[in-house]
Structures are given as C-alpha cells and as structure tokens.
Amino acid sequence: MAIPGLSPPSLMTQATPMSAAGDSRVTMPSPPEISLTGPADRRADVEYKQQLVAQLLSASGSDGLLVLSPENFSWLTAGGVERGGVDRSAFPALYYTLEGRWLLAGNVDSQRLFDEELDGLGFQLKEWPWHWGRNQLLLDLCQGRNVACDVAFSTCKVIGAEIAVHRRSLTEYERACYRALGQILSHALEATGRTLAKADTEREIAGQLSHRLLHRGAAPLVISVAADGRSRQYRHTGYTATPVQNYCVMTVAARKYGLCARASRSVCFGAPDALFRKEHDAACKVSATYVASSWPDSVPRQILATGQRIYQMVGAEHEWTLAPQGHITGHELVELPLLPGDEGLLQADWAITWNASVGAAVSCDTFIITEDGPRTVTSVENWPLKRIKVQGAEFVRPDLLVR
C-alpha cells in the first residue's frame, strides 16, 4: 500500500462505466449493523461517552463538566441537535457529573428535545424560563463547584481541546451513522447530476441539491455549483444566476446524526472539452494519491508533499497553492485543517475529507481511516468511475457523467 513520503507513485488510469463502488479500492463496505432508529445502540454510545467524561473530570480535577458548544452537544448525545433556535446564547447545553447527566434547556425547547432528540438516553432536565435567559442557570450550577467547560465561561477550567481529541475518534455507532449520511449525500449529488437540465442556473441546481438533502433529513452546510469553468477562477464558488451550458461541478457538505461529510460530482452535456477532461483526470490522480496515503500513523506533511509531486507530474504544480487540500472532519465540518507543516499522525477511526482541485475540476470525497485502509463514506451510488493505480493498489474516483 502507499506510504506517504516515498517517491512519487506511478499512476495508471482507466475509465469505468456507471456503477456502484463501496470504497476507494472498489470493494463494497459492510452495511450498517447498528440501528440508527432504535434507542438501544444510541443509548450505548451515550453511556460510553459518559465514561469518557468521567475520565476528563478525573484528569482535570473537576466536579462537573458544562458543555455549551453545539458540536459537543451532538457528540455527547449521539447526534442530538438544536433545531429552530435563533439565539445562540439560549441554545440547550449539557451538564455532567461522574454519575449523572442533565439537559439544560429553556422551557421553549425542553419538551421537543426530549420528544425528538433525547428520548430514552438517560438525561435528566434542568430548565430555565425563557425570559430569565440561560446564564443564570449556568452560574448557579457552577456556584461552589469546581466545574470544567468546553468553552470559556465564568471561572470554569476550559478543557475544549481535551474533549476534541476524544470527539475526533469515531465510535462504532458513529461510523454506522457516517455510512448512512454518505449514502444521502451521494444520492443528492448524483440524482441532481442525472436530472438537471441544460440552461438550469447554478441557483436552481443548488435548490435541487438542498431539497434532496433536506428531504432525507440532512442539513446542507455548504453548497457550491460552478457552471462552465467558473470554478477555474473561484475555488470557493457558492452559486449564482449563471446558467449551465456545457458542464457543471457540484460540491456539497451536509450534516446528519451530528456528523459532517463533503463530496463533489461533475456533469457534462456532450463530450467534455479537452481542457476540462485533462483537469478532471489530473484532480482524480491527486485525490487518489491522497486517499492511498490515508492510513493510521501517516503524517499529513508527507502526504501533502506527495500530492505536490503529483501536481507537478500532471503539469499543474501551481494548482496546489490555490485551495486547501483536505481536513479532518466529524462533528465539526473542519475538526482539523491539514497543512503542509503538520507532523501529527493520522489516527484510525478519524474521518477525513480530501479535496483536490485543478483548474475547473474538483475531486472531493470523505473517508474513514481504518487499520485496513481508507473506507469511502460518500461512495458512488450510480455514477461513472475512474480506476487509478497507486503503487500497485487500485483506487476509484468519480469520473465525469457525460449526458
């Protein structure tokens, strides 16, 4: 398998007809064996994280832990989210001791949270009247106690960095959630790509993507739709009133179960022009190299250096400087950016997004790092594939859909 930091790997590419692929090396992932709808597996995940909190409390010498950030709320509740709130200072929070856990919520939200988000998960309730505000309840909890918090609050000891270390390591339940989220994200991109019409505007296509995500319970976080080379000039494109005439690059990030994933797909009306075809092939070669290197104990600095050499090999050495290449993802869209000087080792059970771009082309997907190699979260549902050999191992990347 590819080891980051070695000499540039040899690359061989081959287009594959439209088909389903389960991971970056063509094999299908095991289907989720965990129930995402019943409470038992989710409750087990919450109980496991209570043990992690107990370790954090012991290590910090604290009596309790106050949790205020939405990403940690989702992590500790195995996917619970605040929906509909407009004032971040009134968002629900959590409070932990060694033996118990409480939801802290205003009377506007507490019933819904227990009915729709936390039912059967073992949380007790501490409630504030909406017209009092959240702050007084939080201060009362901290009064006379040695309390830690995930963000700066009052006199609490801040242990957000220590929490983030645990949060990045996905549990078995979270890995099953990721597989389900990846299917939703891929379906939204690919169904939109198969049905969008020539002359549809970027905004109309973004609306189709949003509809498909929301229809299946995923919240859009970032949607980029670039028509006819607009992404050649802007690497963060968003969407505009520009109509699609020849080709379109779609990149979407979405959240469900408290987890985030990101992926791209590209569509052409008729045969792609030679420049875009070359750019897409080059982006796929770079992203396949990144995926091939995504193993536990790999060093981001070495992976990115290898990517730079592939950019040079495909005649696009300057492209590496124009956009971030990837990040560790999870309950935050960007848990850790991956930068050229990073020496920290990648870890098993982390989620990673690679985002290679060359000219107008983007090759982006999300993966889980495992002891057996990278496993694609956003694997294709019904889409052409490009097979790429990296140091003898075969990887697949989504190709252009030609309509």
146 & 287 share domain: no
254 & 318 share domain: yes
Average pLDDT across the chain, whole number: 91
210 & 247 share domain: yes
Q: Is the pLDDT of residue 23 over 80?
A: no
Please state the three-class secondary structure of 146-196 as a single string.
CEEECCCCCCCEECHHHHHHHHHCCCHHHHHHHHHHHHHHHHHHHHHHHHC
Which tokens hold the place of 215? 């229809």
Task: Evaluate whether residue 256 is within a structural domain.
Answer: yes
254 & 391 share domain: yes
Q: Is the pLDDT of residue 235 over 70?
A: yes
Structural domain harbouring 149: 63-158
380 & 256 share domain: yes
Q: Which of 53, 36, 34 is nearest to 123 (CA)?
A: 53
28 & 72 share domain: no
Q: What is the pLDDT of residues 198-216, one digit of tens each?
A: 999 999 999 999 999 999 9
178 & 295 share domain: yes
Domain boundary among 109, 138, 158: 158
Task: Evaluate whether residue 47 is within a structural domain.
Answer: no
Q: Which of 32, 18, 33, 31 is nearest to 380 (CA)?
A: 18
Task: Evaluate whether residue 225 is within a structural domain.
Answer: yes
Give the model's confidence band at 31: pLDDT under 50 very low, under 70 low, under 90 confident, else very high: very low
Domain boundary among 120, 135, 158: 158
Q: Is the pLDDT of residue 390 over 70?
A: yes
Q: What value does the mean pLDDT take over residues 331-347?
A: 96
223 & 286 share domain: yes
111 & 210 share domain: no
Q: How many CA atoms does the CB half-sphere of 23 hold within 13 Å?
A: 20
Please state the three-class secondary structure of the chain as a single string.
CCCCCCCCCCEEEEEEEEECCCCCCCCCCCCCCCCCCCHHHHHHHHHHHHHHHHHHHHHHCCCEEEECCHHHHHHHCCCCCCCCCCCHHHCCEEEECCCCEEEEEECCCHHHHHHHHCCCCCCEEEEECCCCCCHHHHHHHHCCCCEEECCCCCCCEECHHHHHHHHHCCCHHHHHHHHHHHHHHHHHHHHHHHHCCCCCEHHHHHHHHHHHHHHCCCEEEEEEEEECCHHHHCCCCCCCCCECCCEEEEEEEEEECCEEEEEEEEEECCCCCHHHHHHHHHHHHHHHHHHHCCCCCCCHHHHHHHHHHHHHHCCCHHHHHCCCCEEEECCCCCCEECCCCCCCCCCCCCEEEEEEEECCEEEEEEEEEECCEEEECCCCCCEEEEEEEECCEEEEEECCEEC
**pLDDT of the residue at 83:** 85
How far is it, in rounded angstroms, from Cα 200 to Cα 140? Answer: 55
Q: Is the pLDDT of residue 1 over 90?
A: no
Task: Evaluate whether residue 114 is within a structural domain.
Answer: yes
Q: Is the pLDDT of residue 5 over 90?
A: no
Task: Evaluate whether residue 45 is within a structural domain.
Answer: no
The count of other CB atoms within 10 Å of the CB of residue 68 is 22
Give the model's confidence band at 275: pLDDT under 50 very low, under 70 low, under 90 confident, else very high: very high
Q: What is the pLDDT of residues 100-118, one digit of tens each?
A: 999 999 999 999 999 999 9
CATH of the domain at 83: 3.40.350.10
Q: What is the pLDDT of residues 142-186, one digit of tens each?
A: 999 999 999 999 999 999 999 999 999 999 999 999 999 999 999
Q: Find tokens 């997907």 and name the residue.
A: 365
Task: Evaluate whether residue 3 is within a structural domain.
Answer: no
Domain boundary among 158, 184, 214: 158
Q: What value does the mean pLDDT take over residues 263-269?
A: 98
**pLDDT of the residue at 17:** 52
Number of domains in the chain: 2
222 & 296 share domain: yes
Task: Evaluate whether residue 177 is within a structural domain.
Answer: yes
Task: Evaluate whether residue 272 is within a structural domain.
Answer: yes
CATH of the domain at 259: 3.90.230.10
**pLDDT of the residue at 35:** 74
251 & 358 share domain: yes
Give the model's confidence band at 15: pLDDT under 50 very low, under 70 low, under 90 confident, else very high: low
Q: What value does the mean pLDDT take over residues 299-312?
A: 96
338 & 197 share domain: yes
Q: Find tokens 């992203």 and name the residue.
A: 287
